[in-house]
Structure 1
Amino acid sequence: MNTSKKSIWFLTGSQHLYGPETLQQVAENSRKVADSLSENPEIPTAVRWQPVLTGSDEIYQTIRAAEMDDDCVGIICWMHTFSPAKMWIRGLQVLTKPMCHLHTQFFENIPYAQINMDYMNLHQSAHGGREFGHICTKLGLDRKVIVGHWARPQVQSKVGSWARVALGRASERQMKVARFGDNMRKVAVTDGDKVAAQMAFGYEVDGYGVGDLVERINAVSESRVKTLLEEYAETYTLAANVQPGGDRRGNLLVSARNELGIGDFLREGGYTAFTDTFEDLHGLPQLPGLAVQRLMAQGYGFGGEGDWKTAALVRTMKVMGEGLAGGNSFMEDYTYHFEPGNQRVLGSHMLEICPSIAADKPRLECHPLGIGGKADPCRLVFTGGAGPALNASVVDMGDRFRLVLNTVTAHPPAADLPKLPVARVLWETHPDMETGVAAWIYAGGAHHTCYSQNLSAEQLQDYAAMAGIECLLIDRDTRLAEFRRVALG
């Protein structure tokens, strides 16, 4: 998840009409803007200035070079002066990477006492950006438009927010998802068209028999298991039954071996997301729980019951949120609290919730699972942190993909949950339980989601636009009748 080598190219539009002195000033100004963005720690990539573009061939060759550069995750375009849009057509027609149109100008305020035509000729973003926007829309090119003075913190913060989404999309284009076994039998939403998904998102999904994974797990050395057990003891509070001498200590050894073996398999194959299912565990002593939680905490995407779409989404959102406070995790709406005026959703899963969202130090425990017919699995038990969050779900609608979003507010549980040995989070659904849940169901959203504490609905909407898929947002402003018409239309 190292993004230090990634970059966004800064492209400045102008033309030869204004003479060499003006173009030299345009270049100096645009370099200052690019350098300012690149130095802002809120922007998670380098912003690399490119020479000012004044003709069709230059524009085409620059955008083509950006497309060929694997480290370039997107471009920022700024029309410093008027840049006739017909020059941009050929270049924009080969652009597939995300684009941000920064609609700004070099000086923030009009110098009323000194303004003259030289100033006016140099500062033409007001209509130069409109010319550029016209051709982008005419070409059907989706992009992020950010308006405001480039030096303002809120403008640079918006650029940083967009850059995170561009990083997520870039990672998706190189993503490989490993499926250990198939999806849970007879379940609709976890299945889908993998070829269509690769065409839409860029990631590939590969299936493996569980035996392939078992072979790798069995090859893990005892010394590595011992070292990992020491790490567990240093990182978590261990329940008595998994401590040395505990009657489930052997189960913890199996969990450690699972983690190391799955990690080895993923790294060797170049996979950054994976799935498993409790219905297909042949050769595995237990359903991996602790292993999945810890691998998610390292940045891997995961989907339970073979849910490869959610596994890919979890990975993409982890890349977007890298370095921010809070986390992103595989999640499931599990059960409801229907108390009038205090309605809540308890989110959880059998085992696999990422500790990146934990509010407290996780406890490492071992308990019976009740399904799968295997040995008692180990897992991390904790409560998710309070505060704003969202749930995101990608679903296959048959002829297209749809992203469904719901903003929520997480709350501490009203009481202890001493008999619930799984990680969990309690949240309030926006705009309210009846509207939010009904809207999700009308939208066809999945029961699995990626739960995020550090990404915004706007970022996920930008992601959907970059991927060219539908996006339906359920938030505090949602009105059910209108939402229903859109969802079913």
Structure 2
Amino acid sequence: MQRPESKECCAMSARKQVWFLTGSQELYGEEILRQVADQSREVSDVLARSPHVVADVVAKPVMSSADAIRRAMLDANADDECVGVITWMHTFSPAKLWIKGLDQLRKPLLHFHTQANLKLPWSTIDMDFMNLNQAAHGDREYAFIATRLGKHRATVAGHVSTPQVQERIGAWTRAAVAADALKTLKVCRFGDNMRYVAVTEGDKVEAEINYGTEFNTWGVNDLAAVVDKVSDKAVDSLISEYLDLYDVAEELHPGKDRAESLRVAAAIELGLRSFVVDGGYGAFTTNFEDLGGLRQLPGLGVQRLMAEGIGFAGEGDWKTAVLGRALKVMADGLPGGTSFMEDYTYDLTAGSELSLGAHMLEVCPSIAKGTPRIEVHPLFVGDREDPVRMVFDAEPGDGVIMGMCDLGDRYRWVSNELRVIDPPEPMPKLPIARAVWQVKAEWSTATECWLAAGGPHHSVLSTALTTDHLKLLSEIVGTELAAITERTTDTFEFVERLRWTNAYHRLGLGS
């Protein structure tokens, strides 16, 4: 039996669209424009069939006038299904034609620098061929005006048949879909932030301006009231599902000593589903300091909702919950998993330093190795009954971890490349889900860079995504990414780059 947590399982609506716009001009005549249209469709069809592209590629008529270009961009802005635009200058498209259109475009933009033919027909090439196949000419003209206008864009160069080209365009479509998800995201906050904690605070109005994300706060007793109305029949059905999917501790089975604890956890999950999923929220937060009428700190239900693509963070940390949803959308369908995470403690053995990450209860089983085990244990915080949770070790694999901090005048994302590994030894006395990893840069350098950038203690760990995915998303949404990679070797140089970035943004150049 395949567990639903074996890969990212993100509850999303029908596939979104990216529009494919090809540039030319009236000068060439109808026959040439028909050839341009045919070859353009051949290229867009390859992308449409590519397994790497996670949106429907919609081919638009060849753009040969300023009015048509402007109208296409305005239509893209207004179409909720369109998450981005791919442009290609098949022939020579004078860049003045694109000024008004590019100036109006508010959706993510990818400039695809390619050509219809893979190889040149050296023995037969003539001026007719040259006039038709001059993307090397036209795309330079187009790229200049995009740069002159200060238009943020991704650029991919290469032939559409090349797997790496399809992978790069596919990664951009993932970022465009994730950015679109942020624009429509609603975050449900049960209570406020943990008291006295700084990094989980932030400007929610600025976040809505930047990302389009909406935040709503509910009293935890509003959730408790929904939980109290859950029927015994619904609880029985969910417990049967637990028994089918997971390794459930014997004491939690029906009729056993701790069976009531699992029933409480199941009722909390059903209440969360009713409140969060039915309420149209794509992310939520809880806070162990504010549990109201709940009998347990939500654990098992939170883990299962995360496995289905819902963003979450504990202690009221709405910023990390937002990141969690964005990265889950971007990782949908990829091998690996994505989870709320917290750096807890280190093994500082020189030369083989390790991080042990976890949280009190809420680590997503999409990163689990093997079948998670459902157990109940004391928590010692929250002043409630012993909570139920899944316990597991994370599946080994390369990945990234990313956090979000509010610098006052803007947001910054901080990321770090890592490799999740099997724990060096069993941890039988640690009854929580956990991940052990090595950072890819030298440990002290990577850690000092994270601290210098103001990286938070809460983060999102993904073994499905790479730094390149994060870069694409940060470019689209206009947020600084301080990326610590395998190539980061000098803390001073990293800090200097942060200082130059500060100047860039504070001079208004990043707007």
Q: TM-score range by the shorter chain?
A: over 0.9
Match of residue 299 from structure 1: 309
Q: Give runs of aligned pairs for residues 23-422 of structure 1, distance below 5 A.
A: 23-422=33-432
Match of residue 447 from structure 1: 457
CA-CA distance at 1:247 after TM superposition: 2.5
Q: Please identify, of 244-253 and 105-114, the stretch whose mean Cα deviation from structure 2 is larger.
A: 244-253
Equivalent-residue separation in structure 1 for 2:32 and 2:497 (angstroms): 49
Equivalent-residue separation in structure 2 for 1:113 and 1:72 (angstroms): 43
Equivalent-residue separation in structure 2 for 1:5 and 1:419 (angstroms): 44
Correspondent of 1:481 among 466, 471, 492: 492
Match of residue 476 from structure 2: 466
**Residue deviations 1:46-65 (CA, integer Å, cap 9, x gap):** 10100000011100111111
Gaps of 5+ in 2: 1-10, 501-511
CA-CA distance at 1:427 after TM superposition: 0.4
Count of aligned pairs: 489
CA-CA distance at 1:36 after TM superposition: 1.1
| Partner-residue secondary structure (3-state), 2:450 | helix
Contact 1:183 1:191 in 2 (8 A): yes
Equivalent-residue separation in structure 1 for 2:59 and 2:246 (angstroms): 46
Q: Please identify, of 322-331 and 261-270, the stretch whose mean Cα deviation from structure 2 is larger.
A: 261-270
| Partner-residue secondary structure (3-state), 1:305 | coil
**TM-score where L is the length of structure 1:** 0.99
Equivalent-residue separation in structure 2 for 1:354 and 1:55 (angstroms): 51
**Residue deviations 1:305-347 (CA, integer Å, cap 9, x gap):** 0000110110111111111111110001111000112110001
| Partner-residue secondary structure (3-state), 1:258 | helix
Larger RCO (CA under 8 A, 6+ residues apart) = 2
Contact 1:15 1:82 in 2 (8 A): yes
Q: Please identify, of 244-253 and 74-83, the stretch whose mean Cα deviation from structure 2 is larger.
A: 244-253
Amino acid at match of 1:214: A
CA-CA distance at 1:2 after TM superposition: 3.1
Contact 1:443 1:488 in 2 (8 A): no
CA-CA distance at 1:139 after TM superposition: 1.4
Amino acid at match of 2:496: R
CA-CA distance at 1:109 after TM superposition: 1.4
Q: Please identify, of 360-369 and 106-115, the stretch whose mean Cα deviation from structure 2 is larger.
A: 106-115
Contact 2:15 2:54 in 1 (8 A): no
Amino acid at match of 1:103: H
Equivalent-residue separation in structure 1 for 2:229 and 2:499 (angstroms): 51
Amino acid at match of 2:197: V
Equivalent-residue separation in structure 2 for 1:229 and 1:38 (angstroms): 42
Contact 1:333 1:348 in 2 (8 A): yes
Contact 1:331 1:349 in 2 (8 A): yes
Amino acid at match of 2:299: G
Amino acid at match of 1:379: R
Amino acid at match of 1:185: R
Gaps of 5+ in 1: none
Contact 2:397 2:421 in 1 (8 A): yes
| Partner-residue secondary structure (3-state), 1:302 | strand
| Partner-residue secondary structure (3-state), 1:306 | coil
Amino acid at match of 1:444: G
**Residue deviations 1:122-161 (CA, integer Å, cap 9, x gap):** 1111121111111111111111100000111111111111
Amino acid at match of 2:255: G
Q: Please identify, of 153-162 and 271-280, the stretch whose mean Cα deviation from structure 2 is larger.
A: 153-162
Match of residue 7 from structure 2: none
Q: Share of identical aligned residues, percent?
A: 47
CA-CA distance at 1:241 after TM superposition: 2.1
**Residue deviations 1:162-183 (CA, integer Å, cap 9, x gap):** 1111110111110000000001
Give every structure 1 segment of 4 or more consecutive aligned residues whose post-TM-superposition deviation is greater than 6 Å.
Answer: none
Contact 1:11 1:51 in 2 (8 A): yes
Equivalent-residue separation in structure 2 for 1:127 and 1:394 (angstroms): 41
Equivalent-residue separation in structure 1 for 2:163 and 2:498 (angstroms): 36
